[in-house]
Chains A and B, each alone.
Chain A
Amino acid sequence: MEKPSAISIKQLNKSYRESDRQHVIFSGLDMQVSRGEFIVLLGRSGSGKSTFLNLISGIDPPDSGKIIINGTDISALSEQDRTLFRRHHIGIVFQAYNLIPTLTVAENLLLPLQLIKRLTRKDRDDVGELLDKLKLSGRLDSYPDRLSGGEQQRVAIARALIHDPDVILADEPTGNLDLDTAGQVLELLDILVKKAGKTMIMATHSQEVIGQADRVFSIRNQSLQRE
């Protein structure tokens, strides 16, 4: 039986104005992503991988076309509603970790939860458990700048998952890490995201990830080409 569609993109157009030139990124892009599917996105630097993820997360609005996530057309939403949608349904992992430097590890994880509900004792326990799993239990009260790159990225992954989103978007999550650490992070993503049946789109250069993906695309000629 065919899995239900988690993400549906129809006739997506996106361009940027650069001084007096219009720089087209996507033109008439279509794509369907099933629930629980793991998509890998390849492309040279500047090809539009990050823009694609920003469009799906609602950070950037498309010029035209539709982006439907779990039945909600986010391209039709206002900026405020897109933010609220993202808050509930999407988790993002960045290449540069992007943890909030002024919050501790535990607080970084609790923040997405607090944005959607009132925190309970159980939430704090869950954070503790998650950090245990990530072998970061001793760093609960540490600030991000005290962690290594691998540790920061593990916390970032945990933050993206803590509120149980439907879709995980990862923008070169191993780009800043050495080979060993990158391997650990990918293993973690495999356990926490793929095996948990969540939909994930990852922009990456890592060949190892390509092997684990359900489908691999690359951005060419303002469109997605299946590899």
Chain B
Amino acid sequence: MNSLLQRASRNFLWQHPWQLVLAMLGIALGVAVVIAIDLAMESSLNSFNQATKVYTGSATHRIIANDGGLDEKLYRQLRVKGFSQLSPLVTGYVKLAQAEQESFKIVGIDPFIEKTLQPGWQSGQNENFSPDLLTRLMAEPNTALLSQKTAQRLHVPLNGQLSLVTRQGQQPLTVIGFLPDTNAVSEQVLAKLIITDIATAQELLGLFGKLSSIEILLANDASKTEAAIQSLLPGNALLLSLESQEQSLREMTRAFSTNLKALGLLSLLVGMFLIYNTMTFLVMQRRRLIGSLRLLGVTRQQIFTLILSEAFFLALIGTLIGIALGIVLGHGLLQLISGTINAIYFRIDATVLTVTPFQLGKGMLLGMSVTFFAVLPPAFEATRLSPVKVMARSQLESGSRLLIKRLGFISGILIASGLSVAFFSGNSINFGLASIFLILFGFGLLTPVLTLWLMKFIERAFGRFLGVLGRLPVRMVSAEISRTGIAIAALMIAVSATIGMDLMIGSFRQTVAQWLHSSLPADLYVALPGDQMTAEKPSLDKQLKEKIARLEGVAMVSTALQTKLFAAGELTKTTVFELAEKSKQGFIFKHNMDNSLWDRLEHQPTVIVTEPYAYHHAIRIGQKIDLKTNQGALGFEVIGINADYSGDQGHLIMSRQNYLRYWPDLGYTGIGVYARAGADLKNLESRISQLLTGQQAVKSNQAIYKASMQLFEQTFTITEALRWLSAAIAFVGVFSALMALQFERTRQLGILRAIGITSRQLSVLIIAETGLMGLVAGLLAIPVGFIVAYVLIFVVYQRSFGWTMAFYFDSGVLFQGIVLACVAALLAGVLPALKMAQTHPAEALRTE
């Protein structure tokens, strides 16, 4: 393109640097949030996989067992049958015998497995690691390897001792060598890892004769070997491919990830309004320049290309800044996301932000394409500018009003489509979220026309009391609706999303609170750590239960065992209950209850499933679930579906009597204590406490309720953070629009000053206008926020997690929404108001 043409346009842009900065900021912030979420989410999952590889090496498959653990004889049996490339592991968590009782993962390995299966730190390629250490690890009892940094931090020298808390009391370990780290993930994992040989780990964890897993390296096409291994496995064990396990973990977090990514896209949507707004301003401000260029023979196509090339330049810089910001923000979000995954899904031992070129490419493409789409309308608008006559602002506005009315019609179609997609798109989470976007975008387009009506209403209702001066802000909003409307729409979208999410979180909180109240019928709960399923645990737990039952003031006790069973090839969480009469009141069934249910649960092969489980597996009452028992697969009939908000994957519920018929006794993970009427609970708690050892603990139902609600709040921290980010982008949008508006109006404001309006009055006028814009955004956000909350609760969350919630209305949320919109708009108006008030009237009058 003609360089002079570009220069004519570029000089104008250079003269308005802050507009350029705000446009780039809009792109950058939107891209940053999306990139940050993507990086943090992917990094959490990658870190989990890489962390596992730190001690599993290059294995492709894994034999796992339910909580009973694998019999170590199986390993020998597999070796004898000729299977090679096997690596037995014993894993668990231990605490250091120090004031903070720091938790470490202990991994017991066979030091002499095949080299191909050895992890990086163990392989001969690592110069810092001597193979002699492995021999010593095996030959010398109670020896361990530790990361050098951890050893330094804990002041443990080479051949120094580390003291651990075990069921048998404190046990010393001699640190005979240091683990070399190969990358950031391994550094983090190793920092909390103790490596021993199998026997030491079994002793420390009380898992005598047991293995946690056997890692296997299989060739690409080894289906026959797989089948052969599978045929040798006992009922409580299963062979899984690590790839499929990785896939299932990804699947497990898919809904969580999709919802987070949607929040990121919301920020980008708000950012898109900002880009559109800024580019439109930049075109409109240059209408005289564009008109002159057209007079000189510049074609429409050249003008179009000129605007697009400017947008390309802005998008490129904005996106690059966005990617850099996204990486910084990603570091912050990584902790929040990993924390939530830890709390809800599975334990992540390392959190390292990994950035891949693919992710950066995605961010680049997103930033560029969003800018391109946002800039198309103003680019077309530029080509329509008359070369003969530079249109007055008012003429442009009357054209815009026609467009706004047409958009009103289109927005109706978008909203209707959004609602249709929401309710007629099966179980698709993506369609559920897309429906929210359609609804928000539809209402965004409808905002300018609704603003015009509201302004008319305000003027009719209050015009008499406002006087001419008071009417000015109202008129200013509607007279420049093509500009104010976009800013109001961006703010409305951000505030309605906030209201929607607040109402959803509030409803969820209330639902969970009610569920917790009813599902904690016992007065006290004893937690018995379930990590270490030692041989003596069942009898010790039973003795403890009997001692508690005999205590004065105890009316009855119930027990629970949280374990995992293989259901349809998946390791599935299962709670095994020994219910007291009162415990049955803790179940909230999602259907009419049959009186024979409890009897059937005890005496027939039946299960109750939680609502999320039933949803994810499309289970209905009367269907059978195949569970792997030592006697082979057995169908358990589903006789009930109950509400449960403890996790989004759901679980099975079985009676203890039923369970013990098919699986070995693993003891309990919890005992519920029902006190007699009038019993002193504090005193009872302290007496039970005296019966407990080590990591066992007793808590009141109130304490558990509080801790559960805290966990609930913690899981929404990330949502809160992202919500504020999109509100911040909307704020930048309003600020940018107002700055540009005031710039356009400089002359008009100069006239007001010339006829005697003081600078203070001018500030008040501008702030009143922005306050009005905020008020409109807040008022419109209320119904939109309600619709968003409704779709979130009854469509998105139900499809994502399988939970049904009640809609709880909280008027406080609505007030907060209006206040947020007004405060954001007022704050955004302060600087433009001050700037205009300070502008010299003579200068303002000289402005074209």
Contacts and interface: CB of A to CB of B under 8 A. Distances in A.
B is a partner of A = yes
B754 interface: yes
B476 interface: yes
A51 B841 CA distance: 12
A188 interface: no
Interface in B429-486: 467-469, 471-472, 475-476, 478-479
Contacts of B21: none
A83 B842 CA distance: 12
A102 B475 contact: yes
A82 to B, nearest CB: 10
Interface stretch (A2-10, A30-38, A64-72, A111-119): A111-119
A84 B758 contact: yes
A94 B392 CA distance: 17
B468 A110 contact: yes
Contacts of A119: 467-468
A107 B471 contact: yes
A100 B757 CA distance: 13
B755 A87 contact: yes
B748 A101 contact: yes
Contacts of B840: 60
A100 B471 contact: no
Contact of B748 (A83, A100, A112): A100
Contacts of A107: 468, 471
Contacts of A54: 842, 845
A102 B479 contact: yes
Contacts of B394: 101, 143-145
A194 interface: no
B753 A59 contact: yes
Interface string A51-85: 10010010110000000000000000001100110
Contact of A145 (B392, B468, B478, B758): B392
Given A59-B842, A102-B475, A86 B468 contact: no
Contacts of B754: 57, 59, 86, 92, 94, 98
Contacts of B476: 102
Contacts, number: 81
A116 B469 CA distance: 12
B756 interface: yes
A114 B469 contact: yes
Question: Could you tell me the dominant secondary structure of chain B's interface residues?
Answer: helix
B472 A102 contact: yes
Contacts of A110: 468
Nearest to B470: A114
A114 B845 contact: no
B690 interface: no
Given A83-B759, A86-B756, A98 B751 contact: yes
B361 to A, nearest CB: 47
Contacts of A114: 467-469
Question: In which size bucket is the chain A interface?
Answer: 20 to 34
Contact of B755 (A79, A111, A143): A111
B404 to A, nearest CB: 17
Nearest to B749: A100
B393 interface: yes
A159 interface: yes
A103 interface: yes
Contacts of A80: 758-760
A88 B467 CA distance: 19
Given A59-B753, A98-B751, A101-B479, A83 B471 contact: no
Interface in B734-755: 747-748, 751-755
B683 interface: no
B395 interface: yes
A79 B468 CA distance: 24
A83 B757 contact: yes
Contacts of B395: 145
Contacts of A99: 751
B748 A79 contact: no
A151 to B, nearest CB: 15
Nearest to A90: B756
Contacts of A144: 394
Interface in B65-85: none
Interface in B744-779: 747-748, 751-760
B762 to A, nearest CB: 10
A79 B839 CA distance: 12
A159 B759 contact: no
Nearest to B394: A145
Task: Report which residue of B471, B754, B756, B845 has the largest number of chain A beta carbons within 10 angstroms of its beta carbon.
Answer: B756
B472 A59 contact: no
Contacts of B756: 83-84, 86-88, 112, 115-116
Nearest to A55: B842
B842 A92 contact: no
Nearest to B751: A98
Contacts of B751: 94, 98-100
Contact of A112 (B471, B755, B842): B755
A34 B841 CA distance: 27
Contacts of A112: 755-756
A116 B467 CA distance: 13
B469 to A, nearest CB: 6
A173 B515 CA distance: 78
A110 B469 CA distance: 9
Contacts of B748: 100-101
A225 to B, nearest CB: 24
A92 B755 contact: yes
Contacts of A115: 469, 755-757
B468 A103 contact: yes
Interface in B466-511: 467-469, 471-472, 475-476, 478-479
A54 B476 CA distance: 26
B753 to A, nearest CB: 7
A143 to B, nearest CB: 7
Contacts of A143: 394
A94 B847 CA distance: 14
Contacts of A111: 468-469, 755
Nearest to A97: B751
Contacts of A60: 840-842
Nearest to B398: A145
A103 B472 contact: yes
A103 B845 CA distance: 18
A99 B754 CA distance: 11
Contacts of B393: 101
A119 B188 CA distance: 75
A86 B841 CA distance: 12
Nearest to A85: B756
Contacts of A98: 747, 751, 754, 845
A131 to B, nearest CB: 15
Contacts of B842: 51, 54, 59-60
Contacts of A103: 468, 471-472, 475
Interface string B825-840: 0000000000000001
B375 to A, nearest CB: 28
Contacts of B478: 102
Contacts of B845: 54, 59, 94, 98
Contacts of A88: 756
A26 to B, nearest CB: 14
A59 B754 CA distance: 7
Nearest to A160: B755
B215 to A, nearest CB: 75
B438 to A, nearest CB: 34
B473 to A, nearest CB: 9
The 3 A-B residue pairs with the shortest CB-CB distance, nearest first, are A87-B756, A145-B394, A102-B475
16 contacts: A59-B841, A79-B759, A83-B756, A87-B757, A94-B845, A100-B472, A100-B748, A101-B394, A101-B748, A102-B472, A102-B475, A103-B468, A144-B394, A145-B392, A145-B395, A159-B755
Given A114-B467, A145-B392, 13 more contacts: A60-B840, A60-B841, A60-B842, A80-B759, A99-B751, A100-B751, A102-B475, A103-B475, A107-B471, A115-B755, A119-B468, A143-B394, A145-B395
